[in-house]
Structure 1
Amino acid sequence: MEPTQTYQAHAFHEQFNNGRASGSLTVSDGFIEFSNGESNVRFPVTGAQVKMGGASDRLVFITHPDFPEWSLYTSDRSILNHPALHQDNHLQGQLRKARNVRRINWTVLVIVVALIIGTPLSVVVFMDSITAVAARQVPAEWEEKLGKTVFGQYQIENELLESEDGKQAVAALTDPLINAVNDQRYTYKVYVSNSSDINAFALPGGYIVINSGLILAADNASEVLGVMAHEISHVTEQHGIRNIMGAAGTYALAQAVFGDVSGLLATVANAAPLLLNQSYSRGFESDADTKGLELLKRANIDPKGLITFFDKIIEEEKKRLEQIEDEDARDLMKDTMGFLSSHPATEDRITDLQEQISDQDGDYRNLEPEFQRLKQLVKEFVAEK
């Protein structure tokens, strides 16, 4: 004799108010019976039909072709495991299908939850790759316009070396490097600014500014060109644009990846002032190092200059920090000391650079006369101002 099991249930029938009534559902002795104290129906398990329904398939519906006016349902899904139902061969398939529906729904739910939780995490983990794809959807002319706008803001408060001799000296030193750039997406414009900060920066579209302090601190052409190759690589790899894209949000990034850059362009335009004071992630800096070394190699310029310049800056700024006794003032100095605050040259980065150029000895291009000519003009320019 099969155990009797009762479940809270409902029944649809025209005799009930609004066609539905609450009651209990009992499975025993090969029969399924619904009762609510006022009315009841009893039909055999054999021939019964079971299926899932309701929102998210949370309800178990039971009908029987001999009682077409009745439809029973319960939210207690444990009824699917009742032995009496499983003894009927016809019902076994229906019960299996009903359980599969629930299993599929739970699987879908788990996937949806995983996507909700995992998508933002995936965006963070793969942000560099995502922004690389999205950035290529931005037209080069738009990048150039953005860079020009930001550079115009910079010009208002900074003096540039604009003499004809100065422009020619800048071109003589930097053209051999620029001519070796594979990516013809941008036209590069190089300026020297009257600033004692040992620094340089690049803007989208090919605008590059080298401070007079950097040129005067350099000992040779390869040091200046090493820094410049690094900056050019920030441009070719679109690190400035991608920095802003990282803060644009998942939706704007997804749109850009599939070709709609309208939302992304608006975000970048509003963040344009940040381009003058931005710093790059360690990944972007390493990328610019590697791409910069490749550019120096194509231009046949000694890549060791980038390392010797980094070493020089680190030692110089260590000395400056040692002269400051107050810890808070020292921390503030770290954040405002030029090249390292926007291009942190860690020991690991220098080690990586050394490993990459360990076998790159050769007869490199001699640009020392051009460098000395520019350095002299920069000295005069600074003295005048």
Structure 2
Amino acid sequence: MTEIEFSAKYYDGESSRGIDVRVRLDAANMVHVIGLDAPLEVPLANVRVAPRLGNTVRSIAFPDGAKCETEDNDAADALLRRSGTGRFGDLLHRIESRSRYALAAALGLAAFVVVGVVWGIPIAAKVIAHTIPDEAAYDIGRGTLATLDKTLLDPSELPEERRRELEATFNGMANRYPDLPLTLVFRRGVGPNAFALPDGTVIVTDELVELATDDRQILAVLAHEIGHVHHRHGLRMALESSSIALLVSAYFGDIAQITTLSASLPGVYANAHYSRDHETEADTFALEYLKGAGVAPHHFADILRALSEAAGNAAERTPLRYLASHPPTEDRVRRFDSEK
């Protein structure tokens, strides 16, 4: 093996005074520091060479706390290669030194982040939402309605008799799903809307009831919202908008951390949109329910069209609208129109 020799400054680890020395690596892989009062020889295996970082000064640390510093990066790289640990550092330096490689690495990282946000987090949220025990999952949403009542919603003004009619319809639907803690409540003040909370509460606004021309349209909307509860979409939205640390805590069953989702839920419901996947799942659930109950699926398409028209007329007058949290598409309308 060839010898390696280069200039450096030696620091004994006790003072800040540097001594100009020569460092030599012999064929037997012994490191010699030349220029000190007493000779210093250390096996290369016991020496720690700092990895390359651009063209910064490199340190060569010895077991007794002393070190040498050198600006000769090529020599320091050669020490690393002789020790068998320098290949990764060389590769990293070559990437850093070539702008196109650095750009490619940055683009690769950006692509990784985008894939994680667009696909990875929703998939993780779906898996985690269904691993959380039922009691804990439903408990997360408790208190959300009270917060919404203080910020967005007003008490219902529907006649008592009308509420009882719709509650009877809803209770009949809920009896089909005894595992879901379903509850129906009425509110007003945010335009024609209906949405489900993770604790099983389904909120229907007076404006939606007044917009419907047939109670079977309301029943279709209720079936859709029960689908959101069944698939835990509210919980999944909260998880998707949370931190990675909270996702990990939820996956490993840290219920104390999971309950911190409760504080974020009102904001999630005020600002977030259900994803296309969420809507498709809830639509499929509603479609299966309607067919099983002998209700023509076109009633859901009818109410979607009415909601779309109402949203166009209302413009931005209400802070929370059905079509804001349930983005409609012509495909969804056509799907229910085409079903018999």
For 1:53, the equivalent position in structure 2 comes to 47
**Which residue of structure 1 lines up, in the alignment, with residue 102 of structure 2?**
none
Matched with 2:263 is: 270
Note closer, same or farther for the CA distance 1:53–1:287 as it changes in structure 2 (3 Å cut): farther
Q: For residue 22 of structure 2, what is the amino acid of its counterpart?
A: S
- How many residues were matched structurally? 311
Deviation at 1:351, TM superposition (A): 1.3
Segments of structure 2 that go 5 or more residues without pairing to the other structure are 53-57, 96-104
Q: Give the whole-Å Cα distance in 2 for the aligned partners of 1:177 and 1:155.
A: 25
Give the Cα–Cα distance (whole angstroms) in 2 for the partners of residues 33 and 209 of structure 1. Answer: 79
Q: CA deviation at 1:350?
A: 2.5
Alignment counterpart, residue 282 of structure 1, candidates 275, 285, 300 = 275
- Structure 1 match to 2:249: 255
Displacement of 1:204: 1.9
Change (3 A) 1:142 1:343: same
The answer to which of 119-128 and 24-33 deviates more is: 24-33
Q: How does 1:41-190 map to 2 (within 5 A)?
A: 50-51=44-45, 53-54=47-48, 56=50, 76=72, 78-79=74-75, 98=83, 100-104=84-88, 123-125=116-118, 126-145=120-139, 147-152=141-146, 157-159=154-156, 163=160, 165-166=161-162, 168-181=164-177, 184-190=178-184
Contact 2:132 2:251 in 1 (8 A): no
Does structure 1 conserve the Cα–Cα contact (< 8 Å) formed by 2:49 and 2:59? no
Q: CA RMSD in A?
A: 4.9
Per-residue deviation at 1:155?
A: 6.2
1:167-316 correspondence runs (5 A): 168-181=164-177, 184-193=178-187, 197-266=191-260, 268-274=261-267, 277-283=270-276, 284-316=278-310
- The residue number in structure 1 matching 2:98 is none
Q: Any idea what SS the aligned residue of 1:197 has? A: coil
- Which residue does 1:342 correspond to in 2? 325
Q: How has the CA–CA distance of structure 1 residues 146 and 74 changed in structure 2, closer, same or farther, with 3 Å as cutoff?
A: closer
In terms of Rg, which structure is larger?
1
Residues 142-151 or 73-82, more deviating: 73-82
State the one-letter code of the partner of 2:207: G
CA contact (8 A) 1:53 1:60 kept: no
Offset of 1:254 from its aligned partner?
0.9
Q: Which amino acid aligns with 2:290?
A: L
Distance 1:194 1:27 in 2: 82
Q: Which stretch has the larger CA shift, 257-266 or 213-222?
A: 213-222
Verify the 8 A CA contact 2:141 2:262 in the aligned structure 1.
no
Kindly indicate whether the alpha-carbon contact (under 8 Å) linking 2:31 and 2:43 is maintained by their aligned counterparts in 1: no
Aligned equivalents of 1:26 and 1:97: distance in 2? 13
User: CA, structure 1 residues 123+36, in 2 after alignment: closer, same or farther (shift >3 Å)?
Assistant: same
2:7 corresponding residue in structure 1: 8
Instruction: Measure the CA separation in 1 of the matches of 2:244 and 2:223.
Output: 32
Unaligned runs of 5+ in 1: 64-70, 83-93, 322-329, 362-385
The 1:116–1:158 alpha-carbon spacing in structure 2 relative to 1, beyond 3 Å, is same
CA shift for structure 1 position 246: 3.0
| 2:331 corresponds to 1:351 | yes
In structure 2, what is the Cα distance between the partners aligned to 1:149 and 1:195? 19
What CA distance in whole angstroms lies between the structure 1 residues aligned with 2:142 and 2:2?
83
Q: Which SS does the other structure have where 1:281 is aligned?
A: coil
Aligned to 1:354, the other structure's residue is in SS state helix
Map Cα deviations across residues 74-129 of structure 1 (whole Å, 9 max, x no partner): 854634898xxxxxxxxxxx98662x41225678999xx99998886565232212
**Matches of residues 314-333 of structure 1 in structure 2 within 5 Å?**
314-318=308-312, 320=313, 332-333=316-317
The whole-number CA distance in structure 1 between the counterparts of 2:86 and 2:237 is 44
Q: Secondary structure at the match of 1:8?
A: strand
- Confirm or deny: 8 A CA contact 1:160 1:191 kept in the other structure: no
CA 1:265–1:36: 2 relative to 1, 3 Å: same
- Structure 1 residues 74, 241: CA separation in 2 closer, same or farther (over 3 Å shift)? same
Q: Relative to 1, partners in 2 of residues 1:203 and 1:108: Cα closer, same or farther, differing over 3 Å? A: farther
| Residue type of the alignment partner of 2:211 | A
User: CA 1:238/1:38 → structure 2, altered by over 3 Å: closer, same or farther?
Assistant: same
How much has 1:311 moved relative to structure 2? 1.6
Task: Give 3-state SS (helix, strand or coil) of 1:289's partner.
Answer: helix
Tell me the CA shift for residue 130 of structure 1.
Answer: 1.8
